[in-house]
Amino acid sequence: MPSQTISLCMIVKDEEQMLPACLESVQGAVDEIIVVDTGSTDNTVQLAESYGASIVHFTWSHDFAAARNAGLEAAAGDWILFLDADERIDEQGARELPIWAQQDGIEGYFLQIHNYTGNGSGGVTINPVLRMFRHRPEYRFQGRIHEQIAESIVSQRTEAHFHMTDVIIHHYGYSETIVSAKNKVNRNMELLQQIIEEDPGNPFHDYNLGVEYLRMGELQQALRCFQKSWSGLDPARVSYAHLVLKYEVRCLQALGQWGEAMEKIAEGRRLYPGYTDLLHAEAFTQNTLGRTEEAEKILQEALHMGPAAEMYHTEEGIGTFQTLYMLGQYAEQREALEEAVDAYVEAVRYKPSLLPPLYRICRILQVTRQEERLPELIEARFRIESQEAMWKMIGILNDSRCYLAVLSILQEWDQPSVLHKTIHVSKPMARWRSGDWESAARLLHENPDFSEQEKDWLMWSLDIPSGAGKKQVFKDQAILLIEQGIDKELKPLTEETWSSFAELLEAADHAGKREMFVGITGVWRSILEKNREALSETALVGTKKYVSSMVSAADGHLSAIQTQANGDVNTRLVQHIRLRLPWPDGFR
């Protein structure tokens, strides 16, 4: 039997930014590329041609299925793989697709779509979707929007067999920036309203309309759509039914209809016993209703169950690191702090790039006066195998204001295999931030690795003689610097500038330099209050840094109160307050 070939079919318009990465990802995986262009005015067509694509020029008719089908008619491969420009085939998956194409008895393959939300900081949802199928003339896409191929295949071959693969497609089209730039929500709403008029009573259209309302934050409309969709489908046979139910639960939770949410979750758990996401939804609801102990039992059940089965749309980490992170949060709520730390550690062990639990570990040990445990815990529980990873950890400790832990690690780490310059610069900075200005000044004088500009800045902030031997007066210098910034069209008042002033403010507080602290806050407030229009682009950053620094100062005062508190009850009360202060949490 001759080798089976794959045709990649795409529809595009003005995708010069996203298209190259998509086409690069399929090199070696497909035998031909068919690009249906619906009217690009940028370099999309030229870029596609540079990758050897055949171009089909198609007049847009507000019908995605029609555009998809134009690509099918031009394709010559035995199999059709369809992608969008904002998608990439995973490297491992690109190697596996040609192997899957050689299998007999299979009419189509489900691939795992990893949808990245937010702007690089959001979570990842995982959705199995039929994306590769045999190329037969009777198979055609249906639907103006959210076009489908499965129904066409099944209607032509009732015995058609589909296979679930673990091939990953990375999808970036749900990031806030891309959705906003392409006005996707308005476009989708118009097409959905049109297709509902043409095909009323189809639960799939109601489901998709609900998704768009949910994206817009119109919860009541979304809920009505999901409920209408659910009433018109067979939950045991429709592949997307579990999603309709999950999104209905999400709407009910957001609207505070907790009783109805619990009823829907119970129905879902009976219908879809392997769907771990529903256990998370139940745990969240139980905790919100004050039943934290019950919520934690459900999360333990979710850990035992593990990630949802492949046929379900799920979220990365449910059944593993997301579940452990939530367990840590709930343990914190009932002040079982050692349990919380253990849960957070295990969450990071599942996914080392996960930052929020690391920040909470730092915060808990900081507030409970166990900061000295951090270096030992990091060494014992985490795998720090490179200098890059260690500097990332030190950055987290600095963000968390755990400067004593930073100094301890730097002291242990000061060895020939490590870059001495980096350590020698970091040590005085950690001393300075922690309020030990005398040691910072001594290290600064002895350190050849600081630039003169960096030395001047620290000398000035430390209020000690500079290289020129002159005593610098902080308040006058600060006012002068910021006023010069205003005269120069605010160029120095970048996020980096505000961050420097925030560090200076907090360092002054830690060092007990009250006059300096008051001077900085006075200048800062004056700038924000008197120059609102001129500072429109930087005021938000400056305000956030100001608030963060004020919280840090308040935390320092509470720490002193905690030290002086009489009795276990008073100490725990202050500790409780400190743990709930808005603090760096690792979310970007």
245 SS3 class: helix
Least confident of 92-106, 144-158, 182-196, 460-474: 460-474
User: Which of the four pLDDT bands, split at 50, 70 and 90, describes residue 453?
Assistant: low
Handedness of CA 367, 371, 376, 381 (dihedral sign): positive
417 pLDDT above the threshold of 70 = no
Q: What is the pLDDT of residue 350?
A: 93
How many other CB atoms sit within 10 Å of the CB of residue 412? 10
How far apart CA 429 and CA 579 sit, in angstroms, is 26
Round to whole Å and give the CA distance between 296 and 282.
10
What number of other Cβ atoms are within 10 A of residue 356's Cβ? 17
**What is the mean predicted confidence (pLDDT) over 318-324?**
97
Q: What residues does each domain of the chain span?
A: 1-107+129-168, 325-418, 474-588
pLDDT at res. 476: 46
Task: Give residue 113's pLDDT band: very low, low, confident or very high (50, 70, 90).
Answer: very high
Comparison of pLDDT for 522 and 71, the residue scoring more:
71
More confident residue, 121 or 462: 462
Alpha-carbon distance of 583 to 400, in angstroms, equals 8
Residue 215 carries which side chain, given as an amino acid letter? Answer: R
User: Is 499 or 58 the better-scoring residue by pLDDT?
Assistant: 58
Does position 470 have pLDDT exceeding 80, yes or no?
A: no
- Find the radius of gyration of the CA atoms of the chain: 29
Q: Going along 299-447, which residue ranges are E strands?
A: 314-315
For residue 454, the one-letter residue type is: E
Rounded average pLDDT over 165-183: 73
Instruction: Give the pLDDT confidence of 17-40 residue by residue, as tens digits.
Output: 999 999 999 999 999 999 999 999
- Span 1-107+129-168 CATH architecture: Alpha-Beta Complex (3.90)
| Beta-strand relationship, 108-116 and 54-57 | unpaired
Q: With bands split at pLDDT 50, 70 and 90, how would you rate the model's confidence at 234?
A: very high
Span 263-288, average pLDDT: 97
By three-state DSSP, how is residue 161 classified?
Answer: coil
pLDDT tens digits, residue range 129-144? 999 999 999 999 999 9
Highest-scoring range by mean pLDDT, 279-283, 432-436, 439-443: 279-283
Question: What's the pLDDT score for residue 565?
Answer: 74
Beta-carbon count within 10 A of 281 CB: 25
Percent of the chain residues topping a pLDDT of 70 = 86
The average pLDDT across 52-81 equals: 97
> What confidence score (pLDDT) does residue 132 get?
98
Distance from C-alpha of 296 to C-alpha of 286, rounded to nearest angstrom:
9
Residue 502 identity (one-letter amino acid) = A
What is the rounded distance in angstroms from the CA atom of residue 555 to the CA atom of residue 549? 10
pLDDT at 389: 86
d(CA 381, CA 248): 40
- CA distances for 581 relative to 86, 480, 547, angstroms: 39, 33, 12
**pLDDT given for residue 576 in this prediction:** 93
Structure tokens at 18: 């996203």
C-alpha span between 502 and 507 (Å, rounded)? 8
**Does residue 263 have a pLDDT over 50?**
yes
Closest to 508 (Cα-Cα) out of 410, 583, 440: 440
Q: How many CB atoms lie within 10 A of CB 310?
A: 14
Q: How far apart are CA 448 and CA 445, in angstroms?
A: 8
- The share of the chain scoring above pLDDT 90, in percent, equals 64
Residue corresponding to tokens 């001393």: 431
Encoded tokens for 477: 């210098």
AA identity, residue 71: G
Q: Which of 38-52, 73-87, 114-128 has the lowest mean pLDDT?
A: 114-128
Per-residue model confidence (pLDDT) at position 570 = 83
Work out the angle at residue 501's Cα, subtended by the Cα atoms of residues 355 and 479, and round it to the nearest 5 degrees.
165
Span 234-260, average pLDDT: 96
Please determine, for residue 346, whether its predicted confidence score (pLDDT) is greater than 80: yes
* pLDDT band for position 527 (cuts 50, 70, 90): confident
* Lowest pLDDT segment from 95-109, 181-195, 479-493, 567-581: 479-493
CATH of domain 325-418: 1.25.40
Q: Per the structure block, which two tokens stand in for 17?
A: 């930014």
What's the pLDDT at 446?
A: 72
Q: Report pLDDT digits (tens) over 401-414.
A: 999 999 999 887 76
Round to whole Å and give the CA distance between 9 and 53. Answer: 10
pLDDT given for residue 291 in this prediction: 96
Helix (H) or strand (E) holding 40: none
Looking at residue 376, what is its pLDDT? 92
> Whose structure tokens read 């690690």?
409
